[in-house]
Amino acid sequence: MGTRTRLVGRHIATFGGVVFVSSIVFGALVWWAPGSPQRIDAGAQLDQGFWGWLLSFWLGLIQFDLGPSYRGIPVDQLLVKGAIKSLPLIVLSMILSVGGSLLAVAIMGTRASSSFPLVRTAIHSISLVPVFLLGYLAVVLFAVPPDGVFQALAAIAILAVGDGMLTDIFLGIDDEVDQLLDRDFVHSARLRGVPVGPTLARHLALPLAQIAADKMAYVVGGVLVIEKVLGIQGIGWMGYRAATHHDFLLLLAITVAVTSLVAASQLGVDLVRLATDPRTTPNVSGQEVG
Amino acid sequence: MTLSSLWTQRHRQDQMGPVSVFGFGVLIGLVGLRIAAMFVDSSPRLGLQDEQLLPAMAGPSWDHLLGTDQLGRDLLLRMVDAVEAFFLPGLFACLVAALIAVPTGAIAGYWEGSKGAAVLRGLLTMISAWPRLVLVVVVVAIFTGSVRDPAAWAEVRLYLLGGLVGLSYIPQLGGAVSERVQHFRREQFVEAARAHGLSDRRILLWHILWANCRHLVLRHTCTLFGAFILVETSLSYLGDYGVPPPRPSWGNILAGVRHSVVHSRSLMASSDSWSPAGLWGGVEQAIQHGGLLGVLAPTIAIAVSIAGVLALAEHYARRDRP
């Protein structure tokens, strides 16, 4: 087995470990919660302890048959239904935020060369506003209709901007572009009259993916808020409702699903870096370099 | 470089720019409001006769500068009183994060490569995969959701919220400290200190953490305080897991006036909702119903407070640069 394969295996093992240990932690919280229906049901009817119950949860997760929720609807069906609404919001808001930031940097230049200080300040100011406030203002001022395309568009725009999302991504991209423009190969390419755009794009792809992966946990938190504010029945809305109604099985499934999503985004970036970045090469001892 | 020019350069670095002034101004303002909140009781409706009650959603007047809310309570007093909801729990969140993340990061960075450091790094990786708001909602729902009297448990819930937000910030602070310690442990002054017989504990605590990491920690704790304001107001706005009414929070003040403002807006919500005239009509309705200040005051307070603590974080980030 090659060292590169071992490194891939190590990253996948880290991902699996994060999901596995997280499910134990959240499973323990659900099990020992005051008046936990899981503990009462499992103890009274199935004569299971914590580990037996958790094992049946893992098996259910693998087979995608987690049993019924508090409302009697299968948990896996609810998860799919929620994911269909939430995943597009997460992905599109991320694309909008990264794309908007790239466009802004392309138009205004980086911090060092910017001649648009007011526009930059405006971007920072709007981005400082929390997601729930932007959602609130959308409801109060613009009377976003309760269902439909406008609601989803409003949610995507708010997630792309609020809770400091746009500022963080904008500053991250700004820093990356600034550092990249200062590299020797870019200077020499310019001196030789070669267009630097394609080179910049190639070198920016991985840092952009890293910035987006780092913000994934924040967007998932934002989804919980904005879905509740705008009444979009996605994963966040269901999670909030499950928490309020003490539907702990659904809550555990949603928590494990969103933790897996965040960990998977990091895993994706790690694997792409391993495959594409020549600086990340395994050395003799199998340690990652770069 | 002479000693005097070094002193001048250092003095120039220490001078505060507009960002720092804004940050410290907001901090002083928040401390002042927290002290004022100790002397304010914003829910004086209990025990009052009908004729003593204030009208609901009244506009601003000299007696009530921001008007009243949907239950006839003075909005300005409630705004001041609401600082209690996040000030001390926010500091508690910073304390939890600093007490756990700084030693964890320092150990993981200084004894890099050891098994203990690997375990700590694994823990930091795992916690970083938990979305902050999801973690907070899950734990608060599990442990305080079945409480029969939420108002009596409000204080406990707020500190639980603080602890959880602090916990969720540990990977960021711990990672930053670990990276910094890793960088400095290879520096010549550390080698020299070792050669002089100084213990690892003294080198780590005094020469690395205190001398070279304190601004980094302050910067992150300021950011964390801003994150706590965000989480507390978000959850209080959503209801259930934040500050339970009648106790005020900037989040639940906004939620309280929402219905009357949305109602007044819905009067105008016809086909021209998205037109400038429709928009202005909604705003006009909101002014007439006295709800506009109920929306604007908490909105501005939240945005300015978060901007202020982030400006303070930026101040420490500038001081942190070598």
Q: Where are the domains of chain A?
A: 1-65+260-280, 78-245
B-chain CB neighbours of A248 within 8 Å are: 142
CA distance B299 to chain A (A): 7
Is A217 within 8 Å of A229 (Cβ atoms)? no
Q: Does B19 contact chain A (CB < 8 Å)?
A: no
Predicted confidence band of residue B295 (pLDDT cuts 50, 70, 90): confident
Residue B9, in any domain of the structure: no
3-state SS track over B133-148: HHHHHHHHHHHHCCCC
pLDDT at A3 over 60: yes
Q: How far, in Å, CA of A157 to CA of A172, rounded? A: 19
Average pLDDT, chain B: 80
Contact A128 B141 (CB under 8 A): no
- Neighbouring-strand partners of residue A68: A74
Is B258 within 8 Å of B239 (Cβ atoms)? no
B-chain CB neighbours of A258 within 8 Å are: 131, 134
Predicted confidence band of residue A207 (pLDDT cuts 50, 70, 90): confident
CA distance A288 to chain B (A): 14
Number of domains in chain B: 1
Contact A14 B125 (CB under 8 A): yes
Q: Does B56 contact chain A (CB < 8 Å)?
A: no
CA distance B112 to chain A (A): 14
Residue B308, in any domain of the structure: yes
Is B134 within 8 Å of A255 (Cβ atoms)? yes
| pLDDT tens-digit readout, B226-279 | 999 999 999 898 887 888 888 889 998 888 877 766 666 555 554 455 566 666
CATH number, domain containing residue B119: 1.10.3720
With H, G, I as helix, E, B as strand and everything else as coil, classify residue B150: coil
More confident position, A120 or A268: A268
3-state SS track over chain A: CCHHHHHHHHHHHHHHHHHHHHHHHHHHHHHCCCCCHHHHHHHHHHCCCHHHHHHHHHHHHHHCCCCECCCCCEHHHHHHHHHHHHHHHHHHHHHHHHHHHHHHHHHHCCHHHCCCHHHHHHHHHHHHCCHHHHHHHHHHHHCCCCCCHHHHHHHHHHHHHCCCHHHHHHHHHHHHHHHHHCCHHHHHHHHCCCCCHHHHHHHHHHHHHHHHHHCHHHHHHHHHHHHHHHCCCCHHHHHHHHHHCCCHHHHHHHHHHHHHHHHHHHHHHHHHHHHHCCCCEECCCCCEEC
A-chain CB neighbours of B138 within 8 Å are: 26, 29, 239, 243, 251, 255
Q: What is the ipTM of this complex?
A: 0.82
> CA Rg, chain B, in Å?
24
Residue B139, in any domain of the structure: yes
pLDDT of residue B283: 62
Q: How far, in Å, CA of A132 to CA of A224, rounded? A: 10
pLDDT of residue B90: 94
Can you tell me the mean pLDDT for B280-305? 74
| pLDDT tens-digit readout, B8-56 | 655 555 667 888 898 899 999 999 999 888 887 766 555 555 556 677 7
DSSP assigned state of B244: P
pLDDT of residue B99: 94
pLDDT at A284 over 50: no
Contact B307 A224 (CB under 8 A): no
pLDDT of residue B129: 85
Predicted confidence band of residue B319 (pLDDT cuts 50, 70, 90): confident
pLDDT of residue A35: 67
Task: Determine the structural domain holding residue B245 and report its residue range.
Answer: 21-28+60-320
| pLDDT tens-digit readout, B84-136 | 889 999 999 999 999 999 998 998 888 877 777 788 878 888 888 888 888 88
Q: How far, in Å, CA of B55 to CA of B72, rounded? A: 5
Q: Give just the sign of the alpha carbon dihedral A280, A282, A287, A289.
A: negative
Q: How far, in Å, CA of B303 to CA of A199, rounded? A: 39
Predicted confidence band of residue A290 (pLDDT cuts 50, 70, 90): very low
Residue B104, in any domain of the structure: yes
Q: Which of A92, A101, A87, A88 is nearest to A208 (CA)?
A: A101
Contact B138 A243 (CB under 8 A): yes
Average pLDDT, chain A: 81
| pLDDT tens-digit readout, A210-263 | 888 888 888 998 999 899 888 888 899 998 888 888 888 888 899 999 999 999
Can you tell me the mean pLDDT for A164-179? 85
pLDDT of residue B233: 92
pLDDT of residue A185: 83
pLDDT of residue A135: 87
Q: Which of A21, A246, A255 sits opposite B145 (nearest CB)?
A: A246
